[in-house]
Amino acid sequence: MKFKQTFLASTIVTGLMPFGAVIAQDGGQVNVVCVVSEWCDAMKAPFEAATGYRMEYLNLRSNESLVRLRAESSNPTFDVFYGGTGDPHLVGFNEGVTEFYRPANYEELNEQFRNAIGETYLPLYANPIALVVNPQVLEDAGAPMPESWADLTNPAYRGLMGMADPNSSGTAYTVIATLVQLLGEEEAFELLAGMHQNMAEYTQSGSGSLGPVGQGELGIGVIFMASAVRDKAMGFPIEIVVPSEGTGYEIGGISLVANGPNPEGGKAFIEYALSVEGQELGNAAEQLQIKANVNATQAEGTPDLSAINVIDYDFATYGDPELQGRLIARWTNEIFPVPRR
């Protein structure tokens, strides 16, 4: 687990006091558990200049963030849960770990995104799932370009695929939930079992397979599209495939932590993060997700949901804590331990 240097500095200065004690004594500090570290880096100085609050953050993955917030729910040290897939935000809301806050610019947020999630968490961005492919790796292996989810069980891809572990990554859970919605649970898990046989690795991060695909170590990665669009524009030899059956997508979120140490500061951070300025700082940080504020400029190359065959993703159902826990546990118990031949 990697702490940002600013957290470490605060701990050292206070004589290695517990993190919660440091926060409680600093009323001008906003503490964020942040999934999208590049965006948080870009926002830190402008947010502080605009509001007078100081911002500190800890970078964790989507599901790791939820685990952390759950563990300290009786004495929260964070004010805001920023970024990552929507499912942990929905689970956090349903469990009372986070609470809904309606910012002044709520009506500026994409109506489709707002309607999809209701007043549970706030939409920060959207991002579809896709396959990122290195055609040369596949050609060298004598394997065809994939066109569908079903293709990913082809033994020609043995040892050439990568995906994240759903126990840490919201990306991987979105993949599972997408397949269940497309195929039904039993057929989806049969497909996941076939994909498992082709996996070279499961990464902790949702985009963890992107680098190996771009560098020619893997042939196929299953990730969110925006990161692949960015790397393709940078010249990596990759192609992006939307499975022919359709694909799911995330509505990445931002939530106010319930009973956080600085609720007013947390609200100020949310207002800023969803402003045009806060959203467009994501562009400067090369974050090509579809920004939720309709008045924000979308970066060149940002995916267009209207041009992609996305399913009618049921955010409420698949953000239910019980269902999410059961599907992840089933994958962990039935898919992950099976030896890959």
* Residue pLDDT, tens place only, 167-226: 989 999 999 999 999 999 999 999 999 999 999 999 998 899 999 999 999 999 999 999
The DSSP code for 208 is T
Query: Where in the chain are all domains bearing CATH 3.40.190.10?
Result: 5-126+250-302, 127-248+323-335
* Residue pLDDT, tens place only, 114-134: 999 999 999 999 999 999 999
Other CB atoms within 10 A of residue 181 CB: 18
How high is the pLDDT of residue 173?
Answer: 95
The DSSP code for 253 is E
Query: In CATH, what number does 127-248+323-335 get?
Result: 3.40.190.10
Half-sphere exposure of 307 (CA within 13 A, CB side): 5
CB 130 within 8 A of CB 240: yes
Please state the pTM of the whole predicted model: 0.86
φ and ψ at residue 128, rounded to 5 degrees: -85, 155
Q: Which CATH number fits domain 5-126+250-302: 3.90.1150.10, 3.40.1190.10, 3.40.190.10, 3.40.50.10190?
A: 3.40.190.10
Please give the Cα distance from 169 to 110 (Å, whole number): 25
How high is the pLDDT of residue 341?
Answer: 81
**Residue from 90, 80, 76, 30 nearest 60 by CA:** 80
CB 215 within 8 A of CB 125: no
CB 112 within 8 A of CB 81: no
Q: What is the mean pLDDT of each run of 10 residues along the chain (341 residues)?
A: 34 29 55 97 96 97 94 98 95 96 98 96 98 98 98 98 94 97 98 98 93 98 96 96 98 98 97 98 95 97 95 94 96 97 81
Please give the Cα distance from 221 to 239 (Å, whole number): 11
